[in-house]
Structure 1
Amino acid sequence: MNTIISQWITRDPDPKTQQELKGLIDAGNEAELQARFSGRLEFGTAGLRGVVGAGPNRMNRLVIQETATGLGQYLLSQIEEADHRGVVIGYDGRLDSKQFAQDAAAALTAMGIKVYLTSKVAATPLVAFGVKQLGTAAGIVVTASHNPPEYNGFKVYWENGAQIIAPHDSGIAAEIDKAAVQPLHLMDLEQAEHQGLLAWLGDDFYQAYLDTQLANPLLQNHHQPEAVSIAYTAMHGVGADMAETMLNRVGFEHVYSVAAQREPDGTFPTVNFPNPEEAGAMDLVIAEAKKHNATLACANDPDADRFAVAVRDLHGEYKMLTGDQVGILFGHYLLNVASGSNENLVGTTIVSSSLLEKIAQAHQANFYQTLTGFKWLTNVAMQKQTDTSQFLFAYEEALGYTVGSKVWDKDGLTALVAFAQMTAELAAKGQSIWSQLESIYRQHGFYLNAQRSIALMPDSPAIGSILRASPPARIAGIDIVQTDDLQTAQRTFSGSLATKPAESIDLPTSDVLIYHLENGARVVVRPSGTEPKVKCYYEVVEQMLEDESYEEAKQRAEAQMAALISEHQASL
């Protein structure tokens, strides 16, 4: 172990992390050293993400340089003229992000690969946009999105502008392993610029994103925007300048940014957890909305690829919409906006609300479903597109949305604009977000979704194996009529549907079980990929009665949900 640590310190270009390791050695902190050197941060379809610190199992300059070198070698072996096409690199406002981005650029340019490096912080969707706009072989964003301040990450886009999927993840990982045991070569960025290997992306690039997105026909709905007021927070991230500019350019004159959270700050001083889904994270923007009596209280997460919104209800209180509710509203709205065009392909994930499929059917549109993660939503969309069915919209319940195909990843900035325009159109008709939701529920049923996690002991047997060995026949007293096993790619039927023959499932294999109940409810069980716990996703559906209010239907659905969760969790 001592030899490995000494070798690491010798390779480490950062005096700060060198001293960090020496301090651990001097203190005899064997447990911490073991944690740092017991393995290496695993590179996967989400790239890298981890706590910043010294050692191969942390995010640091050496890990970044090795990772960029491995990526570069893979690109050169897989993509013709990858060196000339180059790689676009952007970074968020976290404390180490700019340095990590420059380290990645130094490694790639030393290999003769051209780099387009943003001249300042950039929202994640700008880099996804840049891959296609500049025609690069790949893209890198240094970001940990909405993780706590001690984290950072290295996210990779392929030449199609979408996040990498297999087999590229394992191919890149293999090259990183090689780079970790070989001498590293880096090029000074001034020298790279002088040799034409480094181009800085300045205001023209940011403007190109704005111009392209605001020319999108899906963002041309200009119904009295001046009548809608918006409180906004960038949550100490990088979204404020772009968000405010976009809203202003499409006519929203009353936008009030939370000053304390407007500028990038990697310490995230005003939130415990910079994730709009977390309790308390939206407090300041809701307070700002109350101060101005704003129609909407909106947020982007720190890298501006997610969007969250609270809407004033009939009592004047601001209530958060769930990711599924926003996705359902978007699906209904965008299919109407695109009516008559060939943009009619919409999709979501296996754990998001199944209501989007019903909305698509009502619009005679095409619907697709994928595993969790935007990497699947966009890569599959590209495969599903035809001349008569172009991609329109996709979402996942974790506040991720993409509107149109200019960015093949979730984009919280265009989602913000589209939601504001939808709100303005409804207001011009004397309607609201809540009345629109109620109208959708009255047509299709009241869909309620929830998620719970169960912590497991590290040595617990795989829950999927247990459930497959003894398949349940009922959940919460309701018959299971359909079971989708994504590990075997088989759909089987039981109960009242027992006579139906089994079907194959066209999804990548994954340790996921989906149970459909007789009453329309659904339970999804999947193990966490990163922690010893099992994640359960629940959906209940209640038909709204003719004389029933939104609140009454919601209470009925919530009661059914509480019973479903309680009994299912107890059974596990």
Structure 2
Amino acid sequence: MMSWERTFEKWDSYQNLEPNLKQELKQLKADPVALEDAFYKELTFGTGGMRGVLGAGTNRMNVYTIRKAVSGLANYLLEHTVNVKDRGVVIAYDSRHMSKEFALETAKVLGAYGITAYVFSSLRPTPLLSFAVRYLGTVSGVMITASHNPPEYNGFKVYNEDGGQITPSQASEIITYINQVEDELSVPYLEQDELEEQELINWIKDEIDNAYLDKLQGISKWSADEMAKEKTMPIVFTPLHGTASQLVPKGLKQLNFTNVHVVKEQAIADPEFSTVASPNPEEHQAFTMAIEQGKQTNATILLATDPDADRLGVAVKNSAGDYQVLTGNQLGALMLDYLLAHSDKALLRTGRMIKTVVTSELGKAVADYYGIKTLNTLTGFKFIGEKIREFDSTGESFVFGYEESYGYLISSFARDKDAVQASMIACEMAYYWQQQGKTLLDALYELFARHGYYFENMQSITLKGKQGSEKIRLIMDYVRNEPLQKFGGLEVEQTEDYLAGTRKFKDGQVENIELPKENMVKYILERDCWICLRPSGTEPKIKCYFGVRGTSEADSKDKLATLQASMDKILQATIEV
């Protein structure tokens, strides 16, 4: 294996290196630590693709790391799928730096293998890419996006022929093919004019959008008469400089919402996301401008989608008249309750709700109330998409899927989390409760009164670079190997190690966890509480999730604070070693 120094020398001496990357290499020479970080490893291709900082080096997102990944993907597709060259691959991209360029590079490398590419002519949401794979019948899909990461990031996300994110087994095989590409600087590709001459590239305009909007209208629980009624409920929507600026307003118009206000400054596709500290609707600061406009319009509901429109955040007024951002767990439970309450009970007999293991247990309580079975998956919507595909042969039916990080899917015509779908149901639901004289917060507290006060939180620690990766490893080793008995005075009843695939009970019994392996540890505590730790798959972070169930809001908040303080001590002690 070539040392990182030799890899750098190879890049530095390559005569045809992209000029901007050549210039960056000159600057890196003056910073040995940054230079090593750019070359000490290859950018990780994980279970869904790769994501990283833009720049020069094998550990960065650039045209060469893209070409290498596409070359591996092309070889995998040619070996494992049928009619690859004719069926082709569909490619979409978001508003980030280099997104359109990376989309075109993907098509160029596919073209060198004789594989047709369908490329959107302008930016589109991730869920539309998922839908397009199914609509066009392609063998795969590629989405160029880094979701809600900071502006310096971009990513390469791969979808299988079902429209879902590639599964871990598929990713593992693709990685094998990628690793067979010996030199990322010499991957073959065609120029754009060659692609067009050979009809190996097709530019997509509005066809997929229109087909998607037709499907979108079908997720409503309203009758045709109810849908036709004009609804003047004020709505404020911000796409946070991303891809949802067209589809969400069009979808709301189909439902006859006529009082929709778009935050104009944030409807601009800005790769710097200049009006927000982070383009992530999980961060409450992302709602600042929407809240200002909400106050001016007396909006009932505020919607915020992340740049690739697969995550949705919602804010509604509280009793003090201020806008309160719902958590992903809360919005998911509300949508699930609304959908099940307005569904034909006969059709729900085989219904399944799917959530991740770090998502609130309130969702399971709601599903139980309506007689719906809950299935748990690992963190990541790819596992929810994989489970939906299994239903084709099991006779089970999908009714809803969600994860705590603001990802929801209402209908499986897309197979990834879909903020456009979620926006429609959130507004429909808000309108329904408004007609009952209630807000979404009123509806949420009714769920708490019925099922218990489920509260959750997540905290993350960012540990960048090579040293950060080592500290994350030490933390996971500690919580996995030390016999922890209590957290915040609450006894550990079960310890779930998803890397080992085992669940250990406090009496010593052990059983297998029937899920794929993942570097994650979850402690099930007494009194319906839990803690889970996992390294992020897309960012240099370790995440710690907390869930409690209390007898009141105050009781739940006290439990959360106690658990977090207990875990903080463990994390800080490990980091400082």
* TM-score, normalised via structure 1 length: 0.92
- Alignment partner of 1:289 is 2:294: yes
SS in 2 for 1:375: helix
Query: What corresponds to 2:11 in structure 1?
Result: 8
What is the DSSP-based 3-state SS (H/G/I as helix, E as strand, rest coil) of the residue aligned with 2:386? helix
State the partner residue of 1:546.
none
1:352 and 2:352 matched: no
Between the aligned partners of 2:211 and 2:48, the Cα distance in structure 1 is 26
The verdict on how the C-alpha distance between 1:75 and 1:446 changes in structure 2, with shifts beyond 3 A counting, is same
1:207 paired to 2:210: yes
Deviations 1:442-464 (A, max 9, x none): 11101000112357775556344
Give yes or no for the alignment of 1:442 onto 2:449.
Answer: yes
User: Which moved further from structure 2: 523-532 or 310-319?
Assistant: 523-532
Instruction: Summarize the alignment of residues 369-384 of structure 1 with structure 2, pairs less than 5 Å apart.
Output: 369-384=376-391
Look up the SS of the partner of 2:412 in the other structure: coil
Take 1:346 and 1:410, find their aligned partners in 2: how far apart are those partners? 14
* Letter of the structure 1 residue corresponding to residue 503 of structure 2: R
Residue deviations 1:298-351 (CA, integer Å, cap 9, x gap): 100011111001001222110000000011111111122333324721111111
Which residue identity lines up with residue 57 of structure 1 in the other structure? N
| Residues 472 and 2 (structure 1), Cα distance of their counterparts in 2 relative to 1, 3 Å cut | closer
Separation in structure 2 between the aligned mates of residue 506 and residue 81 of structure 1, nearest angstrom: 34
Q: Is the 8 A contact 1:335 1:344 kept in 2?
A: no
Match of residue 333 from structure 1: 338
Alignment of 1:377-526 (within 5 A): 377-384=384-391, 388-453=395-460, 458=468, 459-460=470-471, 462-494=474-506, 498=507, 502-526=510-534
Q: Secondary structure at the match of 1:263?
A: coil
**2:513 and 2:458 mapped to 1: Cα distance?**
23
Distance 1:44 1:218, change over 3 A: farther
Unaligned runs of 5+ in 2: 572-577
- The alignment status of 1:193 with 2:192, answered yes or no, reads no
Aligned position for 2:575: none
CA contact (8 A) 1:370 1:377 kept: yes
CA distance in 2: counterparts of 1:55 and 1:12, whole angstroms: 15
Give the aligned partner of residue 548 of structure 2. 540
> Is the deviation greater in 213-222 or in 240-249?
213-222
Q: Is 2:136 the partner of 1:128?
A: no
Q: In structure 2, the residue corresponding to 1:31 is in which secondary structure?
A: helix
Larger mean Cα displacement after TM superposition, 6-15 or 56-65: 6-15
In the TM superposition, what is the alpha-carbon distance from 1:561 to its structure 2 partner? 1.5
Question: CA 1:396 to 1:462, structure 2 compared with 1: closer, same or farther past 3 Å?
Answer: same
Per-residue deviation at 1:177? 2.8
User: Of 307, 322, 347, which aligns to 2:312?
Assistant: 307
Q: Is 2:237 the partner of 1:238?
A: no
Contact 1:65–1:107 under 8 Å retained in 2:
yes
- How far off its partner does 1:6 sit? 5.1
Counterparts of 2:510 and 2:28, CA distance in 1: 57
Is residue 317–residue 439 contact of structure 2 (8 Å, CA) maintained in 1?
no
In the alignment, the residues of structure 2 paired with residue 186 and residue 532 of structure 1 have an alpha-carbon distance, to the nearest angstrom, of 32
Q: How far off is 1:260 after superposition?
A: 0.7
Q: What amino acid sits opposite 1:523 in the alignment?
A: I
Secondary structure of 2:405 counterpart: coil
Q: Label 1:220 to 1:238 Cα distance change in 2 as closer, same or farther (>3 A).
A: farther
Structure 1 residue 18 corresponds to structure 2 residue 16: no
SS in structure 2 of the partner of residue 207 of structure 1: helix
Q: 1:296, CA displacement in angstroms?
A: 0.7
SS state at 1:280 partner = helix
CA distance in 2, matches of 1:286, 1:42: 38
**In structure 1, which of residues 275, 279, 296 is the aligned counterpart of residue 280 of structure 2?**
275
Query: CA shift at 1:569, angstroms?
Result: 2.9
- The answer to whether the 8 Å contact 1:225/1:421 transfers is no
Which residues of 2 match residues 355-370 of structure 1 at below 5 A? Answer: 355-370=362-377
TM-score, length of structure 2 as denominator length: 0.91
Kept after mapping to 2: 8 A contact 1:347/1:395? yes
CA distance in 1, matches of 2:15, 2:378: 39
**What is the CA distance between 1:502 and its match in structure 2?**
4.1
Identity across the alignment (%): 35
Identify the residue that residue 108 of structure 1 maps to in structure 2: 110
- Residue 51 of structure 2 contacts residue 538 of structure 2 at CA under 8 Å; is this kept in 1? no
d(CA) in 1 for partners of 2:375, 2:257: 33
Number of residues of Structure 1 aligned to a counterpart in Structure 2: 557
Q: Secondary structure at the match of 1:282?
A: helix
Conserved in 2, the CA contact under 8 Å of 1:227 and 1:424? no
Cα distance, 1:176 vs structure 2: 2.2
Asked whether the 8 Å contact 2:216–2:251 carries over to 1, the reply is no
AA aligned opposite 1:195:
Q
Deviation (angstroms), 1:385: 5.5
Q: Deviations over 1:31-50 (max 9, x none)?
A: 33322221211111131111
Q: 1:82 to 1:378 in 2, by over 3 A?
A: same
Q: How far apart are residue 130 of structure 1 and its match?
A: 0.6
Using the TM superposition, give the Cα deviation of residue 388 of structure 1 relative to its aligned residue in structure 2, in angstroms: 4.7
- C-alpha separation between the residues in 1 aligned to 2:220 and 2:261? 26
The alignment partner of 1:199 has SS state of strand
Query: Where do 5+ consecutive residues of structure 1 fail to align?
Result: 544-552
Q: Which residues in structure 2 correspond to 1:161-176 (within 5 Å)?
A: 161-176=163-178
Structure 1 residue 378 displacement after superposition: 1.3
C-alpha deviation, 1:291, in angstroms: 0.8
